[in-house]
């Protein structure tokens, strides 16, 4: 029988009986289906089924998952080395791949940073100290000299360190110079990781031509539809879904004319390679801009290095998409929040008391006729430079950018 995700959470928790590892039923959420259409509850995959725009799961799979977790046993005395890879300290961003050892390494270092240094890990990152401090604490956490201190071990022991596949495992213990965990826990996490990787590999294949898109397919080829997430390569998506040609230019988002047409009848008008999922519109004027896929719609202010998935102002056609709004196009101006961001980037590039490349401009509140920015860099982090930009000058900066985009510079 199909049940809702809310009911699945309730049933799963009711079926669990004194588990040896804490479980987290909150992973039963629709956003987890994006990667490969399943949610892993321990070593059991729960397939998502979308009907009439709502997600459901099979209650039999939920019962199987609960039974598997109830049958887990752990011998706390049978410990094995975890074998964490401590190389590449510069690459210390949160690992989105299903690698529980990398996630464990991330939380161990983050916990040690927060305990063994002044200020939080986020503050250190903001001050440009991330790479240096991570490198120091990785040397202390690895098995090589210098040996970790009692303070370091205590910092690690305060956190449950592995949160993956609805399970919480850890913390690891140091025995004979190595970080170790119970053998059954390590084997279980390895099984979950292998299953997750197989499901991801299957979801990366285009449903039309069966092309394997690799890592790119996980974030660019996957598109939301009324029946769930579908993987289609650009060639198949272009062949099946037509290009949007400003059909609703000047039409308001809440108009019956727009509501009568589904966005997923078109290709995304930003990336141009994926089936659209939603109608994007200008919140300042209320006019339709065009159909977007779920990835592009969610990446409006995303923090990522990939241009195709990054914030719209970083994309070659991002500003052109914003000007699809009839109100913005007529006024030759961007929406308010984009105007502030454009000026902030201008100040960040032009202001500063030195040639430091790590400048960051932050908006300050409280001025009625101007924008106030505090510009910091590595050289003057504690004494920011204050820059005031009158609204007239701010509008000039934005219009200059729009003119350069429209002229193709």
Contacts of 51 (CB under 8 A, 6+ apart): 2, 227
State the chain's mean pLDDT as an integer: 79
Kindly indicate the confidence band of residue 64, based on its pLDDT and cuts at 50, 70 and 90: very high
Kindly report, residue by residue over 239-283, the tens digit of the pLDDT: 888 888 888 888 999 999 888 898 888 888 888 878 888 899 998
The answer for 343, left when phi > 0, alpha when psi is -120 to 50, beta otherwise, is: alpha
Instruction: Assign 352 a pLDDT band (cuts: 50, 70, 90).
Output: low
Q: Is the pLDDT of residue 130 over 60?
A: no
**Chain centroid offset of residue 283 CA:** 24
Could you report the per-residue pLDDT of 292-342, keeping only the tens digit for each? 987 788 777 654 334 444 477 777 788 888 888 988 888 888 888 888 888
- Residue 47 pairs in a beta bridge with 38
Burial of 149 by CB count in 10 Å (0-12 exposed, 13-18 middle, 19+ buried)?
exposed
Q: Tell me the per-residue pLDDT of 190-231, one tens digit each, with 9 for 90 and over.
A: 999 999 999 999 999 998 888 888 877 777 788 777 788 888
Whether the CB-CB separation of 65 and 42 falls below 8 Å is answered with yes
* pLDDT greater than 90 at residue 132: no
Q: Do residues 128 and 358 lie in contact, with contact meaning Cβ atoms separated by under 8 Å? A: yes
Report the alpha-carbon distance of residue 54 to residue 69 in Å, rounded.
27
Q: Give the pLDDT of residue 127.
A: 47
**If residue 8 lies in a helix (H) or strand (E), which one and from where to where?**
helix 5-15
* pLDDT on residue 398: 87
pLDDT of residue 41: 92
Percent pLDDT > 70 in the chain is: 78
Average pLDDT over residues 349-359: 66
- Mean pLDDT on 349-368: 69
Res 167: pLDDT:
86
Q: Over the Cα atoms of the chain, what is R_g? A: 25
In the chain, what are the domain boundaries?
Answer: 2-72, 79-198, 214-331, 336-406
pLDDT at 26 over 50: yes
Token pair recorded at residue 181: 């965990």
How far apart, in whole angstroms, are the C-alpha atoms of residue 281 and residue 201? Answer: 35
| Cα 11 to Cα 3, 167, 235, distances in angstroms | 10, 17, 42
Residue 220's pLDDT is 75
pLDDT the model gives residue 62:
94
- 73 and 20 in contact (C-beta within 8 Å)? yes
pLDDT computed for residue 144 by the predictor: 39
pLDDT of residue 343 exceeding 90, the answer is no
* Residue predicted with more confidence, 385 or 148: 385
Eight-state DSSP code of residue 347 = H
- 159: confidence class by pLDDT, cuts 50, 70, 90: low
User: In 3-state terms, what secondary structure has residue 31?
Assistant: helix
Query: Higher confidence at residue 13 or residue 164?
Result: 13
């Amino acid at each position: 029988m199909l049940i809702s995700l809310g009911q699945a959470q309730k049933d799963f928790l009711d079926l669990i009986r004194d588990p040896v590892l804490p479980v987290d039923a909150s992973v039963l959420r629709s956003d987890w289906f994006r990667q490969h259409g399943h949610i892993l509850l321990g070593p059991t995959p729960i397939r998502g089924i979308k009907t009439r725009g709502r997600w459901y799961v099979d209650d039999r799979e939920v019962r199987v998952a609960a039974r598997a977790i109830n049958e887990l046993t752990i011998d706390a005395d049978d410990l094995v080395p975890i074998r964490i890879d401590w190389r590449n300290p510069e690459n210390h961003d949160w690992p989105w791949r299903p690698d529980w050892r990398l996630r464990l390494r991330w939380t161990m270092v983050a916990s040690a940073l927060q305990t063994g240094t002044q200020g939080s890990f986020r503050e250190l990152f903001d001050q440009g100290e991330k790479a240096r401090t991570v490198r120091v604490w990785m040397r202390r956490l690895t098995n090589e000299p210098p040996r970790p201190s009692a303070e370091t071990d205590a910092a690690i022991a305060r956190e449950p360190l592995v949160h993956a596949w609805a399970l919480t495992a850890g913390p690891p213990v140091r025995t004979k110079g190595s970080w170790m965990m119970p053998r059954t826990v390590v084997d279980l996490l390895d099984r979950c990781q292998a299953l997750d990787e197989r499901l991801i590999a299957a979801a990366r294949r285009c449903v039309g031509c069966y092309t394997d898109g690799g890592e790119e397919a996980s974030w660019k080829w996957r598109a939301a539809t009324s029946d769930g997430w579908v993987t289609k390569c650009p060639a198949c998506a272009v062949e099946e879904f037509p290009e949007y040609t400003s059909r609703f230019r000047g039409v308001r988002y809440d108009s019956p004319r727009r509501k009568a047409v589904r966005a997923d009848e078109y290709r995304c008008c930003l990336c141009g390679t994926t089936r659209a999922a939603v109608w994007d519109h200008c919140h300042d004027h209320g006019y339709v801009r065009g159909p977007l896929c779920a990835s592009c719609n969610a990446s409006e202010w995303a923090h990522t290095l990939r241009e195709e998935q990054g914030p719209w102002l970083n994309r070659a056609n991002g500003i052109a998409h914003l000007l699809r709004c009839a109100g913005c196009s007529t006024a030759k101006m961007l929406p308010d929040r984009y105007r502030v961001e454009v000026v902030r980037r201008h100040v960040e590039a032009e202001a500063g008391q030195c040639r430091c490349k790590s400048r960051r401009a932050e908006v300050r509140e409280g001025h009625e006729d101007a924008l106030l920015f505090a510009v910091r860099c590595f050289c003057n982090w504690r004494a920011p430079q204050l820059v005031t930009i009158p609204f007239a000058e701010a509008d000039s900066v934005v219009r200059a950018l729009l003119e350069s985009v429209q002229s193709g510079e």
